[in-house]
Amino acid sequence: MSTLDELRERALAAIADAQDLDALDQVRVTFTGKRSELAGVQATMRDLDAEGRKALGQQLNAFRAAFQEAFDARHHALGEAALAARLEHERLDLTLPPRRLPPGRPHLLTQVEEEMLAVFIGMGFRVAEGPEAEAGAYNFDLLNIEPDHPARQEMDTIYVAGYDDVVLRTHTSPVQARVMTTQAPPIAVVVPGRTYRADAVDATHSPVFSQIEGLYVDEHVTMADLRGTLLAFARALFGADRDIRLRPSFFPFTEPSAEVDVSFDGPGGHHGWLEILGAGMVDPNVLEMCGIDPERYSGFAFGIGIERVAMLRHGVRDIRELFEADARFLTRF
Amino acid sequence: MKLPLSWLKDLVEFDLGVEELVEVMSLSGLEVESVTAPGAGAAGIRTARVLHWEPHPEADKLRFVRVTGDGGDGEVEVVCGAANFDVGDVVAHALPGGHVPGVTGPDGSRGMDLSSRTIRGLTSHGMLASPKELELGEDAGGILVLPADTPLGASLDDLIPVGEPVIEIAVQADRGDHLSVLGVARDLAAILDTRWRAPEVPDRPAGPSIPVALHTDGCASFHTWVLEDVTIGGSPLWLRQRLTQSGMRPIDVVVDVTNLVMLELGQPLHAFDLDRIGGPSLTVREAVDGERLVTLDDVERTLAAGDLVIDDADHPVSLAGVMGGLDTEVVADTRRVLLEAAVWEPITIRRTSRRLGLVSEASMRFERAVDPAGAARAVARAADLLVSLGSASATGSDVVTTEPAPAWSERPSVRLDPARVRGTLAVDLSDDAQIALLDRAGARVVPAPDGAGSAGGAGSAGGAGSAGGAGAATSHLDVTPPTWRPDLARQADLTEEIARLHGYENIPDHLPTLPTTGGLTPSQRAERTARELALAAGFHEAKTRPFVGAQAIAGVLPSEGRVLLANPLAQDAAAMRPSLLEGLLQAVRHNHGQGRPGVALAELGRCFRPVDDPLGPALDAIIGTGWRWTDPVGEPIPLQPRVLALAAQGRRLGEGWLDTEATWSVWDVLDVLDRVARRLAPPDDPSWRVERHAITREGFHPGRTAALVLQGQEIGVVGQLHPEEAERRDLPEPVVVGELLLEPFLAATPEAGHPPVPARTLVRHPAMTVDVALVADDEVTYATLEGTVRQAVGPLLDELWFFDEYRGAQVGEGRRSVAMRLRLQDPARQLTDADAEAVIESVAEAAEAIGATLRR
């Protein structure tokens, strides 16, 4: 058996024995590298004659071909195994929670407010705002609530000390007056914001709550316009099958005035009405005091409690939950 | 106002079940709050006379009683625990097998079934019932004792409508007429288009009454009746029931009758003991400042000019329209009574009542205006009832009126344009239909003498005949409201009345096409952007109550100034928040208390500072004074800029994931505020770049707190709470907070929004990356180092990223190394190694200039 034959047998055995790509590479170096036995055999070439060289050349080629074939096959097999091992090693349980911080949630009241505003914005209302510590003149006087009127007493106002007549606004209606005294009709605004009453905190009362006020003043605004606007609002917010009904009421700044109920279908086919807002035609005194000619213009106004709508829609039973910022509550919605 | 059904039916015709009635009322401005049935369930109760009683031999506090039996005959034995009766009294006997409703059992159950049972050896056949047990009053200390002429052996059901429905309505501020059964009956008649009737009253007796002088316009009329041979006793069963149903306590027959008539007719009455009135006459006058009067509730009141009193020539005997005086009240041995009914000016009574903090049934009615034509009937009705109950005889009377009638007691006619009503309501109601509705309301309607346009109405004198009647375009109506409807004073009021009686449900719906385009302003959108940025960083939005007590942590631009509340709900809510941080920290504490490993909260809202607070000029310097609010005449009201505040504590949490490696840090807060400030600022405007300055602030970690500074003014603060402050709040460290005034950014956002951001040409030549590390003393801030590098690199710098901070032996004590990666690009050519060399050299040079060295 020639040296090369013996070498080939050993080399092929070593290839077969190699257990990973590194070992395989070592086999390659050992058998075909610069200081390998193969190199030694090759070195004998120069001592041979042409015939001998040719014969050895052929043997060498045969050796290389055999080696390469075995090497490639083994390399391929080991490569596949290594990839399979890696893939197995890299397996993730993707039912684990992602270790990333999720975005925070907007407050339920923000969500409801924005949804309500979107309905009115779609109708063509702009959004107006005003201060929460408000001049009594805007909160009361310009809204036809005289200092001695019982309605003023019923508002349970919180007063700011140290000023002649500054209150925590009892409703968002003062922004009506701010808008009407600075802008000319046509006016169509909705006013979201915080409001205050001297109510002790319990499950259904909060000294701070929020409202969305609406105001539309133009020529020939009618009570049918008011009803149509509120009906469209109620259906957008509560469902297309809802109805509304208006009940006579009293607000100093509207005449005629109405409480507005929205229909609901309760369990067991029970059909009922839920009060959601107050509304009316802007009192001519208010228009006049705000510098708008009541003979030429008329308007309607409404005020919706955001907490009430949020609580009704989401079944929140205790208004305090809206203000204690319990993360369990905040992340629920 | 509580309305017993039988009483309502006495005064108005209707044929509706209670449910239907409640529905009609609710839809017509009589808002029903509740329907109750006091006394419901009472059974087997009959009247009986006490024939004999003796102490129970086995129990000191019990009596063994014999009362009349069935039909008033025979005898029945009962054991009774009360002592307020005697032989001959008529009482309510609850028979075995019967039921009394007004008892609450030890287990909270309502009512009690009766049987014959043995009490300490004696058999009691049922019980003698107290007013409370029968729900005919609150009195549980004694049994019900009825007037002697009450029929005997009669079932309670036959004497009074036991357990009938009582409808309680909420009275609107402008509908004082609803504070009486008659008032509601009249309104129901108008609503249902049926008839009402007031009780019949006798003519007033011709005999003399006490002389009365009216010295004030605050009284329109003053009616008196003199009653003699008065016997003060208990009221009959029906009267007791109506008072109790209405929420009033039966006292004695005279007081009860005045109360009953007030409830029935809405006119408050007062009964004086005529023999205890000092002088020969009464004067109605304004009080003198400091004058004193002890009122019926045994409180000495100090009066003020403007109050009205009735004076007996000796001293005030009554605080007019509010409460009578104690020393002329009717007592057990009163023999002569002066019944008084007067019509007082609403605003005067309101002021007195409010000043004294004294709200009575009378003041409540007078301040909402009583029917000026109703006093005569009321006083006659009361006298008639007392006479018919055998409690008095009427001998004299008098009426004094102020002439001419004061304006406040007048109900002037209103000019109505029926076309305008149709326009406002969008309902096609003919003139005649409107007249018919107003007629139902009790108004008198006549065509206006001048049919010309509405502008001619009030001022012009030459109305009569001048128009010549030829083809007047619009017809107008003159509407005189009924005396009991002061709320019908303008066309708008009549419009509402027409709509109400016609039915709000008949108003159609029409969605108007608004002539305006809706939407949010750029400033409003910017506010939403600020919220979104905070939420994106993992902060949940909180809404806290904006009140603080004396202890509140300092936030942005702290000051001692507080917007204090005149009538706070609690001492720890005495002021409006000067910063949002206190509320957020309390919310953080709440979450920690609930066992949450960590929480991050954000709130957007207003903080509140006095007008002269230093926060004012600081903001003025940036955005002028347009952000301040004023009252209508330009007087300033408290500062209330909008703020974004953040607070975080403990570990980060996802849904079902807890980060045990890291806690919320001051960087998280800083990141949000910095991002908000950059996003909301006018684009590419270096004057709106916010700087950060290390500061110390009470409650904050001295080495981990920075002010955010815009144009030299603090507009924000970021920091970690001082360990002691965290400890004081019982919060595990670290607790990190931040607060940024949004007002400068929002106020500086133009109505049309900031100008569009121009695009930047993207350089296509390959970029070159160079890392530099500067070593400097700790005192040299990163901002300085970064600025130095930017300056040194110049226009080749495309982007700069901080990536490492190192402290240790290699750089020396008190020093640090700060590493930045620079991305270099030139729009015109490809950069070479020589460019990199040059950049590094210029950075090294610039570093030397600020006492730093480039680490090679």
Task: For residue B633, give the amino acid letter.
Answer: V
Residue B681 pLDDT more than 60? Answer: yes
* Closest CA–CA distance from residue B176 to any residue of chain A (Å): 10
Closest of B605, B604, B598, B550 to residue B572, by C-alpha: B550
B543:A228 CB<8 A: no
Provide the β-strand partners of residue B213.
Answer: B283
Mention every residue, 6+ apart, whose C-beta is less than 8 A from residue B664.
B598, B600, B648, B649, B650, B651, B652, B734, B736
Confidence (pLDDT) at B459: 37
Q: What's the mean per-residue pLDDT of chain B?
A: 92
Provide the β-strand partners of residue B818.
Answer: B774, B805
C-alpha angle A208-A213-A218 in degrees, rounded to nearest 5: 160
Query: Nearest Cβ partner of A323 from B350, B545, B629?
Result: B545
Chain B residue nearest residue A296, CA to CA: B420
In terms of Cβ atoms closer than 10 Å to its own Cβ (0-12, 13-18, 19+), residue A310 is buried
- The residue with tokens 């409640």 is B22
Closest of B132, B47, B136 to residue B94, by C-alpha: B47
Q: Return the structure tokens found at B542.
A: 């909180």
Residue B565 pLDDT more than 80? Answer: yes
- Residue A107: its chain B contacts at CB < 8 A? 540-543
Model pLDDT for residues B440-465, shown as the tens digit of each residue: 999 999 988 765 444 433 333 333 33
Q: What share of chain B in percent tops pLDDT 90?
A: 82
- Residue A109: its chain B contacts at CB < 8 A? 543
CB atoms inside a 10 Å sphere around CB A33: 12
Write out residues in chain A with pLDDT < 70, as ranges. 1-2, 150-151
Q: Return the structure tokens found at B698.
A: 């009470």
* Closest CA–CA distance from residue B190 to any residue of chain A (Å): 14
Residue B466 pLDDT more than 80? Answer: no
Mean pLDDT of B3-12: 96
Query: Nearest Cβ partner of B175 from A132, A250, A298?
Result: A250
Confidence (pLDDT) at A150: 66
Mean pLDDT of B637-650: 97
A281:B492 CB<8 A: yes
Say what the ipTM of the complex is: 0.88
Query: What are the two backbone dihedrals, phi and then psi, of residue B651, each rounded to the nearest 5 degrees?
Result: -95, 155
Closest of B313, B317, B200, B321 to residue B269, by C-alpha: B321
Alpha-carbon gap, residue A329 to B31, rounded angstroms: 35
Confidence (pLDDT) at B314: 82
Residue B386 pLDDT more than 60? Answer: yes
- The residue with tokens 């009080």 is B287
A163:B638 CB<8 A: yes
Confidence (pLDDT) at B551: 87
Task: For residue B19, give the amino acid letter.
Answer: E
Model pLDDT for residues B807-848, shown as the tens digit of each residue: 998 899 999 999 999 999 998 899 999 999 999 999 999 999
B640:A186 CB<8 A: no
Confidence (pLDDT) at A268: 76
Model pLDDT for residues B344-374, shown as the tens digit of each residue: 999 999 999 989 999 999 999 999 999 999 9
Query: What are the two backbone dihedrals, phi and then psi, of residue B404, each rounded to the nearest 5 degrees?
Result: -70, 165
Closest of B103, B231, B242 to residue B166, by C-alpha: B242
Residue B467 pLDDT more than 60? Answer: no
A131:B637 CB<8 A: yes
Q: What share of chain B in percent tops pLDDT 70?
A: 97
Residue B16 pLDDT more than 80? Answer: yes
Beta-carbon-side half-sphere exposure of residue B349 (alpha carbons within 13 Å): 28
Alpha-carbon gap, residue A237 to A260, rounded angstroms: 14
Pairwise pLDDT comparison (B422 vs B460), residue with the higher score? B422
B654:A101 CB<8 A: yes
Query: Nearest Cβ partner of A126 from B354, B516, B545?
Result: B516
* Closest CA–CA distance from residue B426 to any residue of chain A (Å): 6
Q: Return the structure tokens found at B348.
A: 């005067």
Pairwise pLDDT comparison (B730 vs B103), residue with the higher score? B730
Pairwise pLDDT comparison (B470 vs B754), residue with the higher score? B754
A325:B584 CB<8 A: yes
Query: Nearest Cβ partner of B492 from A107, A153, A284?
Result: A284
- Residue A119: its chain B contacts at CB < 8 A? none
Q: Return the structure tokens found at B149.
A: 């002429």
Model pLDDT for residues B290-301, shown as the tens digit of each residue: 999 999 999 999
CB of A278 within 8 A of CB of A260?
yes
Confidence (pLDDT) at B460: 38
* 3-class SS letters over B781-839: CHHHHHHHHHHHHHHHEEEEEEEEEECCCCCCCCEEEEEEEEEECCCCCCCCHHHHHHH
Q: Residue A143's Cα: distance from chain center in Å?
A: 38
Q: What is the DSSP string of A98-133?
A: PSSPPPP---HHHHHHHHHHHHHHHHT-EE----SE
Confidence (pLDDT) at A151: 66
Query: Nearest Cβ partner of A250 from B172, B573, B584?
Result: B172
Confidence (pLDDT) at B474: 60
Closest of B44, B10, B14 to residue B28, by C-alpha: B14
B640:A131 CB<8 A: yes
Q: What share of chain A in percent tops pLDDT 70?
A: 98
